[in-house]
């Protein structure tokens, strides 16, 4: 089921008396293609849950419209939308067995949706198999691990065969190992069922690893949409570049002057045709190449050997962070007795941002983001054809 959000805004009265209203979600427009897994990503408080709850119908937008396929569902109550919801805390019924927990949503179906007892039990078995719980059906939630409990919650969300599956930080309560395992599980279940799935998380690695497409949010506003690798490789602003990647991107104060890009007094790259201005220069840790004649000179602090790679910690007076971390090939020739280390920089791993508005400054050799990948074409297809239609009408 394709899901479309059109100019959705949600304004809450401030929880503090007399405070300004909170714009939790601001003019959110997005088309989620049918059958994909979308990661909704951003720091705590950026409006992810509010967006998800509006898709579910648990919260009503202050303005804007929501479509499931061709149906406008903005005014449709949650139980009629055909959604499955999974939260961070599993919220299972503790006195019921796994089977009873999964069965519960089916027993509440009314009218023409009502199912026979046998059909219900068959469906429960089928879904239990999908989440690999068929051998635990008679246990109570307290007799299971966190990961298993979350699988019960997912089964319960799937049992009514939802058109859209919504997951709000479903892995946050699990320990590191289970988190990894359960996220693979979610990916597999999504692939097998083909249900359009929206996965909310503040964890960039989690979102990047399982999503077909990520949506990065900040303060209620979409910053960038794209395939995970594409967004990582081609961030549109400083915020997105800093939010994605571990170890994080290194940020330097720099400037464009006379058509050249500088960090301190060192000329880092050509910037022909660009106006003089103050900039931030982001360099991914993997963007450094050790070179005794390199363009950027940092003060060497320490190194950590990680097998295949070496991680080098240094500092630089123009660095926005206390340390500059690079990850270089373990076969690089490095003079560890020297106080300084010099680098050349891979162009594709360096991004320049206007210091005033923190927007990316694109250079000729940069490819533009939103490269016409399949999803993005699908994403913009509708708005494009709408634009074409209105252009035709104007004629
Ligand atoms: P996230 O899920 O990304 O952490 P939320 O969607 O929960 O963010 O919240 C977005 C913003 O809206 C936050 O500033 C939050 O405090 C505010 N907010 C959320 N729900 C309410 C509410 N019921 N009343 C007032 N403010 C709210
Ligand atoms: Mg939330």
Peptide bond into 247 cis (omega under 30): yes
pLDDT value at residue 394: 53
Note the ligand closest to the C-alpha atom of 51.
1
Ligand 1 pocket, residue 12 CB under 6 Å:
yes
Check residue 393 and give its pLDDT.
57
Q: Which of 9, 21, 22, 243 to mutate to test the pocket of ligand 1 (most atoms within 8 A of CB)?
A: 22
10 lines ligand 1 (CB under 6 A): no
Tokens 């005033």 correspond to 356
DSSP 42-61: -STTSSHHHHHHHHHTSS--
Q: In sequence order, which residues have a C-beta less than 8 Å from that of residue 54 and are 6 or more positions away?
A: 5, 8, 10, 25, 60, 61, 66
The ligand whose atoms approach the alpha carbon of 24 most closely is 1
- The answer to whether the CB of 23 is under 6 A from ligand 1 is no
pLDDT at 376: 47
CATH architecture of 3-233: 3-Layer(aba) Sandwich (3.40)
pLDDT digits (tens), the chain, 395 positions: 999 999 999 999 988 888 999 999 999 999 999 999 999 999 999 999 999 999 999 999 999 999 999 999 999 999 999 999 998 887 899 999 999 999 999 998 888 888 999 999 999 999 999 888 999 999 999 999 988 999 999 999 999 999 999 999 999 888 888 889 889 989 999 999 999 999 999 999 999 999 999 999 999 999 999 999 999 999 999 999 999 999 999 999 999 999 999 999 999 999 999 999 999 999 999 999 999 999 999 999 999 888 888 999 999 999 999 999 999 988 888 888 889 999 999 999 999 999 999 999 998 777 766 543 444 445 545 544 555 555 555 54
Contact 215, 30 (CB under 8 A): yes
How distant, in Å, are the alpha carbons of 9, 216, 226, 316 from that of 203? 24, 11, 17, 29
> Could you tell me which of 2, 76, 7, 74 has the C-alpha nearest to residue 220?
7
């Amino acid at each position: 089921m394709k899901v479309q959000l059109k100019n959705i805004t949600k304004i809450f009265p401030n929880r503090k008396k007399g405070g300004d209203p909170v714009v939790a979600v601001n003019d959110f427009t997005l088309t989620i293609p049918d059958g994909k897994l979308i990661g909704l990503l951003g720091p705590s408080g950026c409006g992810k849950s509010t967006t998800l709850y509006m898709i579910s119908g648990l919260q009503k937008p202050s303005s804007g419209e929501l479509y499931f396929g061709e149906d406008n569902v903005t005014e449709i109550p949650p139980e009629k939308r055909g959604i499955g919801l999974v939260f961070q805390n599993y919220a299972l019924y503790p006195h019921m067995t796994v089977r009873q927990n999964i069965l519960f949503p089916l027993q509440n179906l009314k009218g023409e949706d009502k199912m026979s007892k046998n059909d219900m039990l068959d469906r429960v078995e089928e879904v239990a198999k999908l989440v690999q719980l068929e051998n635990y059906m008679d246990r109570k939630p307290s007799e299971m691990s966190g990961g298993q409990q979350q699988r019960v919650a997912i089964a319960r969300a799937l049992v009514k065969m939802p058109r859209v599956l919504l997951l709000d930080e479903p892995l946050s309560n699990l320990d590191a190992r289970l988190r990894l395992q359960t996220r693979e599980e979610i990916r597999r279940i999504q692939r097998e069922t083909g249900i359009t799935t929206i996965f909310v998380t503040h964890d960039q690695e989690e979102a990047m690893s399982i999503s077909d497409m990520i949506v990065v949010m900040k303060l209620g506003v979409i910053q960038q949409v794209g395939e995970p690798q594409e967004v990582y490789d081609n961030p549109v602003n400083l915020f997105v570049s800093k939010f994605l990647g571990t170890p994080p991107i290194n940020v330097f104060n720099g400037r464009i002057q006379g058509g050249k890009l500088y960090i301190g007094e060192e000329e880092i790259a050509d910037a022909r045709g660009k106006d003089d201005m103050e900039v931030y220069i982001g360099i991914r840790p993997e963007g450094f190449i050790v070179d005794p004649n390199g363009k950027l000179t940092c003060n060497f602090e320490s190194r950590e050997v990680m097998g295949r790679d070496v991680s080098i910690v240094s500092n630089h007076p123009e660095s926005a962070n206390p340390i500059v971390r690079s990850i270089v090939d373990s076969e690089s020739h490095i003079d560890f007795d020297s106080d300084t280390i010099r680098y050349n920089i891979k162009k594709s791993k360096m991004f320049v941002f206007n210091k005033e508005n923190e927007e990316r400054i694109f250079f000729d050799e940069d490819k533009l983001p939103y490269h016409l990948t399949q999803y993005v074409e699908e994403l913009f297809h509708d708005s494009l054809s709408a634009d074409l239609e209105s252009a035709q009408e104007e004629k």
